[in-house]
A and B are shown apart, each in its own frame.
Chain A
Amino acid sequence: MSTVDVNVNVHHLTRVEGHGNIVVDVQNGELKQCELQIVEAPRFFEAMLRGRPYYEASHITSRICGICATGHATASLRATENALGVEVSEQTELLRKLVFHGEIIDSHVLHVYMLVAPDFFGVGSVLPLASSHPDVVKRALRIKKLSGDLCAMISGRHTHPIAMTVGGFTHLPTIKEMLAVRERLVAAREDMDETISLLATLPWPEFERETEYVSLQKDEEYAFIDGRIATTDGFAYELPDYRNVTNEYLVPHSTAKHTKHNRDSYMVGALARFNNNYDQLHPRAKAAAEELGMKPVVTNSFLNSGAQAVEMVHCVEDSIRIIDELVDRGIEEEPPYEFQGKGGEGVGSCDVPRGILFHNYVIDDDGVIQGANCIIPTGQNYGNIEADMRALVPQILDRPQEEITHMMEMLVRAYDPCISCSTHFLNVEFV
């Protein structure tokens, strides 16, 4: 073993800014270098928001990411509302939870089916999978269409939730629309069952590494919006103290800051939520977890994708419950929020598909944003991804280099990092 040399150098997304490079260097069996090199997205977060009126923040930040647009909008609104002392109605809370569930399903289904599944079917991407297993890919798109329609019903438009605003919504769904979506959610149980059955057959890589898992937590429900920050090492913090958890620091090989708390690194995302909040999952979601052989604390990072599937089941069930509650209560028009001439500082947090997200704003008495900070989930996962890589490489050194490279890619992919949401620039060659 001591003479093994391995050199993994994956430059995946070089077409834009060289995002997401994996570098592993083993000389004579000794691990010399093991890095995930990332050029990170919202680098100019503060510059984007400083000097802008408070009501623009959610619309600007929802454009940071096409996958987590609702997540950014919600964290932004909560930060603004906490800064300005705005109380929102129960109806608004319910609608926000519902649209958030839509985004969780939307993002998870893409990740599980379009990125993770092809690895297990032995194909390089979802494209050959669409030819060899069209039913699988069509199921994914069917689920995605439902979640997209659920989001659009509430937030008015796909990807960028224009109807979500400080204090509530500028557009409300009708009972008829909600019941139509409810019917499709009930029908989607079959697709959920198929999803879990499919994942249960996949040969998940065997890899265990204990780490600290960080997520939101609430007493009353499986937390996605608000709550406290909880960790599997037994710590809990209120949202304004988020910096006690994130402790950002710089590393030479990445422009993105890393974070750490009780250990050298921590993990956020579906698996972290699963590990912290398992008890609050819907019974059907717990049954799904059992089928996947998952019981907290799960320490195999590859199973983040399993936790995503479990959360999809939970969100389908909880969406049905929320719609029932909304239909029961009836939907009421609410007066729009009016600024009271008093600013302040506020932190908003949501557990978006990839993990806990923080927005923190300082707003002056004219309603203008004077300071802003944002910590995204992937930034918090970098350190943990690298720690996983350092632990995994020595265990698989005897395998062919190609396989080692593939395992490294699968590992990074399990976290579904937010790397280049930024541009979807086409590169064209004319024939």
Chain B
Amino acid sequence: MEGGEGEALPSTLVIGLGNLLRGDDGVGVRVAEALATRDLPDDVEVVDGGTHGLGLVNFMEGRQRVILVDAADVGESPGEFRRFTLDEARLLGDDRHLSVHAAGLRDALLLAQALDVLPDEVVIFGVQPANLEWYSALSPQVKAALPDLITAVMTELNQKLGRREVWPKS
């Protein structure tokens, strides 16, 4: 359950995003699932954000840092990923939606910014997808990249939390 009223929230939040039914779009959720099996420090929370859209604002509010993992067109070959902060990138898109279904991570970040509830640190791991077909599995390229991606996110967490070791599988 999301932190209720008055409860202290873990300061670091990792959100894996995407739709598991649409091939590589689900890569963020796969990373979240993998991280959830690790022995995480108390101040780290991992969330399967699915296709949550604007609701992500409520997850992010009150955190010190958020690490987001999502499929993204980052201009790389399929399976490659880039780590970036909001200062380093422009998230392209249209603000005028016909449907709440169209709102995604970009909109949630911009809305959190506008409301001044964006965490101080926002790091995004954007993974270049190869395939977004309905009801398909991860592409071989993205599947092959998954271990490196998980390691990269854990390394990011270790650095942020001043820890050197990568957590063993619990």
The answer on a CB contact under 8 Å between A159 and B52 is yes
Q: Is A430 an interface residue (CB 8 A)?
A: yes
- Which residues of chain A from 101 to 131 have a CB within 8 Å of any chain B CB? 106-107, 110-111, 114-115, 124-128, 130-131
CB-nearest residue of chain B to A125: B95
Query: Known: A127-B111, A127-B114. Contact between A421 and B101, CB under 8 A?
Result: yes
Cβ contacts under 8 Å, A65 to chain B: 51, 101
Partner of A158, one of B52, B100, B135: B52
Q: Is B22 an interface residue (CB 8 A)?
A: yes
Among listed B54-62, B137-145, B146-154, B158-166, interface-contacting one: B54-62
Among listed A141-149, A283-291, A323-331, A342-350, interface-contacting one: A141-149
Cβ contacts under 8 Å, B52 to chain A: 66, 158-159
Cβ contacts under 8 Å, A128 to chain B: 114
Q: Is A157 an interface residue (CB 8 A)?
A: yes
A426 to B58, CA, bound (A): 20
Question: For the complex, would chain A's binding face be called helix, strand, loop or mixed by DSSP majority?
Answer: mixed
CB-nearest residue of chain A to B114: A130
The answer on a CB contact under 8 Å between B72 and A426 is yes
Cβ contacts under 8 Å, B93 to chain A: 15, 427
Q: Is A425 an interface residue (CB 8 A)?
A: yes
CB of A100, distance to nearest CB on chain B (Å): 17
Cβ contacts under 8 Å, A407 to chain B: none
CB-nearest residue of chain A to B57: A141
Q: Is B104 an interface residue (CB 8 A)?
A: yes
The answer on a CB contact under 8 Å between B101 and A63 is no
A423 to B52, CA, bound (A): 10
The answer on a CB contact under 8 Å between A428 and B19 is no
Q: Is B80 an interface residue (CB 8 A)?
A: no
Cβ contacts under 8 Å, A41 to chain B: 134
A65 to B115, CA, bound (A): 26
Query: Known: A424-B19, A426-B105, A429-B90. Contact between A20 and B99, CB under 8 A?
Result: yes
Q: Is A1 an interface residue (CB 8 A)?
A: no
CB of B72, distance to nearest CB on chain A (Å): 4
CB of B39, distance to nearest CB on chain A (Å): 20
Cβ contacts under 8 Å, A47 to chain B: 135
The answer on a CB contact under 8 Å between B100 and A425 is no
The answer on a CB contact under 8 Å between A159 and B100 is no
CB of B73, distance to nearest CB on chain A (Å): 5
Total interface residues on B, CB under 8 Å, equals 63
Partner of B50, one of A13, A159, A416, A420: A159
Query: Known: A63-B50, A114-B103. Contact between A124 and B95, CB under 8 A?
Result: yes
The answer on a CB contact under 8 Å between A111 and B2 is no
Q: Is A250 an interface residue (CB 8 A)?
A: no
The answer on a CB contact under 8 Å between B88 and A430 is yes
CB of A272, distance to nearest CB on chain B (Å): 18
The answer on a CB contact under 8 Å between B55 and A13 is no
The answer on a CB contact under 8 Å between A111 and B100 is yes
Cβ contacts under 8 Å, A426 to chain B: 70-73, 91, 104-106, 124, 126
Cβ contacts under 8 Å, A43 to chain B: 134
The answer on a CB contact under 8 Å between A66 and B98 is no
Interface residues of B (CB under 8 A from A): 1-2, 4-5, 17-22, 25, 47-55, 57-59, 61, 70-75, 82, 84, 87-107, 110-111, 114-115, 124, 126, 129, 132, 134-135
Interface residues of A (CB under 8 A from B): 12-13, 15-16, 19-20, 41-44, 47-48, 60, 63-67, 69, 106-107, 110-111, 114-115, 124-128, 130-131, 134, 137-138, 141, 144-145, 148-149, 152-153, 157-160, 177, 180, 184, 409, 412-413, 416-431
A-B contact pairs, 6 of them (CB 8 A): A110-B100, A125-B95, A418-B101, A421-B51, A427-B91, A428-B84
Known interface pairs A110-B53, A159-B51; 18 further A-B residue pairs with C-beta atoms within 8 A, sorted by A's residue number: A44-B134, A47-B135, A66-B50, A111-B100, A114-B103, A115-B97, A125-B95, A127-B95, A137-B111, A149-B1, A149-B4, A159-B49, A409-B98, A419-B99, A424-B19, A427-B92, A428-B92, A430-B89
